């Protein structure tokens, strides 16, 4: 009996189960009795977006990975509304997340997917399967006054922002009935939705999707998960390049967190956006594709003529990649030369870079098409 009491995280369990049960019972009852108006929908969406982005932009990309620097208003906003997500303080959240990246898919990973989808999604919060993550993982963040203040007063801040604030707004808008609705919909139901959006990053983002950058861990890229998690679904990229402020690195990929950080940088509220050089990203994709192909070829050898075709395609690709990298480095150096290189020379290098990029794309297409001619298609 004593071991069971120690095994269950009772506070977490009561809160997670209680808010879920309230959401599926009291919320529908309120809507049936009083309806759902534009005010309740708008308040729910405001708190959903504010708390969701405070986790993805603030807790995750700002505090956990230091992918950009933020002014105090941005920090304060994400710390206040991050607390309203009821996922712990920024320090505790970041400590768990850094430990996850360090030991991903291994026993020391707090939400290790190899223990099952339920464990990674919510089980690790309901049951104590190992020691809690100490704050030694975030010694640097403990020096941040705002982050330390939020950690010390996390519970009252969380209750005030998650439940008291929407209830007060509802009361001011329409009295006790509107206040009750705001508490249930923008408060309780919104907490449940944000919880499971975030939990999906730990579970389904390691379960469904592709691994275009690395198959060294279970993290996967999924546009569906990106839509459900404010852009965090491009998880394979994130695990391979965790210091990049973008998760959806391609311009067309759905990543509202990335777009918000970029927009804030344009108005001077954040700066120092960290990105991985595009040639490093491309090399990772090529290396992963080649690794998968080689694994298949090792199991099913091909003829010498087909091997020669593959080697020729690889040689062409490597030459095109080397030319593009060289010109890209020249272009960056010329742009940063502060007038030492003329605009005409910069335009000429840029034109050559465009041509090299097109040749590289052509070489990649040729390389991929060559693979498709093989009797064993790469995974």
Residues 134 and 95: beta-carbon distance below 8 Å: yes
**Can you give the pLDDT at residue 338?**
66
**31-50: per-residue pLDDT in tens?**
999 999 999 999 999 999 99
**Can you give the pLDDT at residue 302?**
66
Could you give the angle at which helices 165-182 and 38-53 cross, rounded to 10 degrees? 130
pLDDT level of residue 376 (50, 70, 90 thresholds)? very low
Where do the domains of the chain lie? 2-271, 278-372
pLDDT level of residue 112 (50, 70, 90 thresholds)? very high
CA angle 103, 107, 109 (to 5 degrees): 40
CA distances from 241 to 20, 184, 248, 274, 353 (A): 34, 39, 11, 10, 25
Indicate the pTM of the whole model: 0.86
The answer to whether residue 378 scores a pLDDT higher than 50 is no
DSSP class of 70? E
- In the chain, the DSSP E strands lie at 69-70, 270-271
Residues 305 and 369: beta-carbon distance below 8 Å: no
CA angle 141, 147, 151 (to 5 degrees): 105
Tokens representing 115 are 């223990």
Bridge partners, residue 220, by sequence: none
CA distances from 33 to 41, 179, 243 (A): 16, 14, 49
Beta-carbon neighbour count of residue 31 at 10 Å? 14
- The greatest distance separating any two alpha carbons of the chain, rounded to the nearest whole angstrom, comes to 81
């Amino acid at each position: 009996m004593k071991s069971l009491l120690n095994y269950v995280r009772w506070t977490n369990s009561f809160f997670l189960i209680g808010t879920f049960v309230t959401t599926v019972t009291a919320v529908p009852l309120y809507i049936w009795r009083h309806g759902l108006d534009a005010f309740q929908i708008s308040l729910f969406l405001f708190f959903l977006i504010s708390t969701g982005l405070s986790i993805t932009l603030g807790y995750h990309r700002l505090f956990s990975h230091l992918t950009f620097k933020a002014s105090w208003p941005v920090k304060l906003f994400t710390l206040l509304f991050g607390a309203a997500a009821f996922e712990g303080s920024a320090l505790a959240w970041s400590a768990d997340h850094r430990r996850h990246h360090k030991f991903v898919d291994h026993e020391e990973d707090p939400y290790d997917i190899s223990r099952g989808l339920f464990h990674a999604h919510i089980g690790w919060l309901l049951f104590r399967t190992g020691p809690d993550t100490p704050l030694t993982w975030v010694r640097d963040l403990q020096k941040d006054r705002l982050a330390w203040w939020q950690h010390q007063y996390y519970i009252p801040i969380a209750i005030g922002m998650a439940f008291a604030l929407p209830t007060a707004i509802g009361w001011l808008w329409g009295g006790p009935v509107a206040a009750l609705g705001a508490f249930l919909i923008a408060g309780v139901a919104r907490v449940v939705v944000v919880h499971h959006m975030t939990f999906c990053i730990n579970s389904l983002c390691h379960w469904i999707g592709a691994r275009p950058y690395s198959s060294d861990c279970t993290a996967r890229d999924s546009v569906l998960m990106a839509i459900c998690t404010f852009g965090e679904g491009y998880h394979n990229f994130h695990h391979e390049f965790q210091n990049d402020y973008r998760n959806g690195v391609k311009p067309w990929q759905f990543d509202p967190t990335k777009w918000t950080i970029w927009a804030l940088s344009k108005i001077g509220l954040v700066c120092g956006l960290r990105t991985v050089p595009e040639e490093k990203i491309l090399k990772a994709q090529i290396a992963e594709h080649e690794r998968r192909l080689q694994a298949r070829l090792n199991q099913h050898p091909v003829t010498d003529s087909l091997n020669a075709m593959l080697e020729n395609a690889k040689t062409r690709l490597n030459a095109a990649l080397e030319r593009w990298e060289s010109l890209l480095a020249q272009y960056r150096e010329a742009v940063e030369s502060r007038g030492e290189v003329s605009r005409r020379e910069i335009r000429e290098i840029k034109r050559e870079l465009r041509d090299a990029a097109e040749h590289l794309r052509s070489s990649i297409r040729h390389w991929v098409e060559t693979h498709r001619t093989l009797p064993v298609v790469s995974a």
